[in-house]
Amino acid sequence: MLERLTDRVSFAPGGVNIGVIWDDADGAIMVDTGLNDSAARKVLRAVEAAGRRVVAIVTTHGHADHFGGNAFVVKRTGARVFAPAWDETVLRYPMFQPLCLYAGADPPSSLRGGFLLGAPSPVDVIYEAGPLDVCGVHMQVVSLAGHSGNQMGLVVDGVFFSADVVLPERVLDRYRLPYLYSVTDHLASLSRAEAVVHSVAMPGHGPILEHVSLGIEPNRALVEDVASIVVELCLEPRMPEDLLADVLARLGGDPVDAASYYLLHPTIFAYLSHLERSGFLVHHIERGRSLWSRA
């Protein structure tokens, strides 16, 4: 169940990779807990089989597929939960995620499934970028904001837990327009991640990487391609919803349900904000419409 990366660090591969770090006593630290109780339970069993107990959870960011098992683990073990500032709000109040995707309004039932709406998690420690001590284990925290408002990565014993700063090419090929909170921050985080000194990287999804740089170029290239398409489509004033449909048509993407669509809806706004900030687009309101066009 657990695949060893160093003497201290292992991980459980799955839909979301879950990190496990041994402390210097008989404890274990989980890095994320997966989407639900099922994923977390398997890791707990493996930890207990090794004669250890989970004493802490370090959550990399506030998306339900990464903290969905927190409540179960805390109930079983009493583990303390560490979470980044800003994102910790979603752990405490998971409804904020579908609410934000639905433009701040009361989300419909189609946005209240487990993938978007996790079980509430306690948060005991709010952490920032820089050095972090968890149960005697020294970690270096790296800001990887962009995929979420304040996503964090961790470096422990040369292992870089890189969260969702890079997604595997199979995910990029399938979803075509992965969710981003901030394109500006995401591009900066890709460069920051590339500079992190490490011997192996464990992304939140997909296979282990010898170095995170192996995943950076496909992710950066997709962002740059989408940005170019958006600028091209804004030759005439465009509404964001129409832009999203045309971008997806260009990329060959077609959301199959409400959850898929509403992850893309704010993502196109993230591109618009980035391109306005970069001087490529301007925004104005006209006749009850929000319009974007080339600067």
DSSP-H helix ranges across the chain = 37-49, 64-67, 70-77, 88-92, 96-101, 169-175, 183-194, 213-233, 240-251, 258-277
Asked if 90 contacts 97 with a C-beta cutoff of 8 angstroms, the reply is: yes
SS3 192: helix
Structural domains in the chain plus CATH codes: 3-214 (3.60.15.10), 224-294 (1.10.10.10)
pLDDT of amino acid 174: 85
Structure pTM?
A: 0.97
Length of the chain: 295
pLDDT of amino acid 253: 86
pLDDT of amino acid 99: 96
SS3 110: helix
Q: Which of 15, 18, 113 is CA-nearest to residue 73?
A: 18
Angle between helices 37-49 and 70-77 (to 10 degrees): 40
Per DSSP, the chain holds a count of helices (H) and strands (E) of: 10, 14
Degrees, nearest 5: CA angle 44-40-117: 155
Burial of 103 (0-12, 13-18, 19+ CB in 10 A): exposed
Tell me: the pLDDT tens digits for 241-253? 999 999 999 999 8
pLDDT of amino acid 120: 97
Tokens in use for 35?
Answer: 């989407």
* Side-chain half-sphere exposure of 66, counting CA atoms within 13 A: 31
Q: Any idea which residue has 């030759």 for tokens? A: 235
pLDDT of amino acid 1: 81
Pairing of strands 289-294, 200-203: unpaired
pLDDT of amino acid 16: 97
Rounded to whole angstroms, how far apart are CA atoms 130 and 96? Answer: 27
Residues in the chain predicted with pLDDT less than 70, given as ranges, are none
End-to-end CA distance of the chain: 53
